[in-house]
């Protein structure tokens, strides 16, 4: 009797393992590409420097699509900004700031693109931490000046920084 129970239990365990394995094989490929980053964008990510990415937002202008990514280097919990553009199925790295220096996105991409990507960054952050917390962080910011794209995005969101813009 114990043998029959053990035999059924063993077959059940094997069946469960096979089912879980099948699920992993079906679902894992969708996780392999960071946050649905298009393949054309993925091919432009500096793989030697960047361990993983998260898509922050995208916008289109002047027959190009622009993607703002949070790029994480191996072992670094703080992301760097990475902007990649796609035009005619080819990609170009427009902006990469691994040092974390305070630089305007508009120094590398058109101002309209910088504004839209900054707005998407702020909207993503509001969804992540909540509007009240985001507003508190803006008010406590150590930045005494805001770049144009930052001031514009905050204005679009109806948030006052209380500080002048550049």
What ranges in 33-130 are assigned the alpha helix state H?
A: 39-42, 111-129
Which of these ranges, 27-36, 40-49, 52-61, 139-148, has the smallest mean pLDDT?
Answer: 27-36
Q: Are residues 141 and 86 in the same domain?
A: no
Statement to judge: residues 61 and 49 lie in one domain:
yes
Task: Single out the residue in 101, 134, 158 at which a domain terminates.
Answer: 101
Could you tell me if 47 and 91 lie in one domain?
yes
**Same domain? 23 vs 44:** no
Q: Which residues contact 20 (CB under 8 A, 6 or more apart)?
A: none
Q: What is the pTM assigned to this prediction?
A: 0.75
User: Other C-beta atoms within 10 Å of 73: how many?
Assistant: 16
Residues 93 and 112 both lie in one domain:
no
Same domain, yes or no: 38 and 96 = yes
Give the best-scoring range by mean pLDDT among 37-46, 110-119, 152-161. 110-119
| Mean pLDDT score of the chain | 82
Please, where are the H alpha helices in 33-105? 39-42
How many structural domains compose the chain? Answer: 3
Same structural domain, 78 and 129:
no
Say yes or no: 79 and 94 in one domain. yes
Domain interval for residue 20: 1-32
End of a domain among 101, 120, 151?
Answer: 101
The 10s digit of each residue's pLDDT in 39-48 is 889 999 999 9
- Look up tokens 């209380």; give the residue: 162
Strand order in the sheet with 90-96: 50-61, 64-73, 80-87, 90-96
pLDDT at 109: 98
- Confidence tier at 9 by pLDDT (50, 70, 90): low
Tokens representing 86 are: 């796609």
Domain match, 28 and 85 both: no
Q: Could you say which of 75, 101, 127 is where a domain stops?
A: 101
Structure tokens at 27: 């679902």
* Residues 4, 105: Cα–Cα separation, whole Å: 68
Do 28 and 40 share a domain, yes or no? Answer: no
């Amino acid at each position: 009797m114990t043998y029959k129970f053990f035999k059924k239990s063993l077959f059940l365990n094997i069946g469960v393992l096979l089912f879980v394995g099948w699920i992993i094989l079906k679902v894992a490929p969708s996780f392999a590409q960071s946050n649905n980053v298009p393949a054309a964008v993925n091919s432009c990510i500096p793989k030697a420097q960047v361990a993983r990415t998260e898509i922050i937002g995208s916008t289109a202008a002047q027959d190009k699509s622009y993607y703002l990514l949070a790029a994480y280097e191996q072992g670094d919990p703080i992301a760097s900004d990475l902007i990649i553009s796609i035009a005619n199925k080819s990609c170009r790295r427009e902006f990469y700031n691994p040092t974390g220096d305070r630089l305007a996105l508009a120094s590398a991409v058109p101002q309209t693109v910088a504004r839209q990507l900054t707005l998407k960054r702020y909207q993503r952050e509001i969804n992540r931490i909540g509007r009240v917390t985001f507003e508190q962080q803006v008010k406590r910011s150590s930045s005494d000046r805001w770049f144009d794209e930052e001031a514009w995005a905050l204005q679009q969101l109806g948030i006052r920084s209380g500080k002048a813009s550049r």
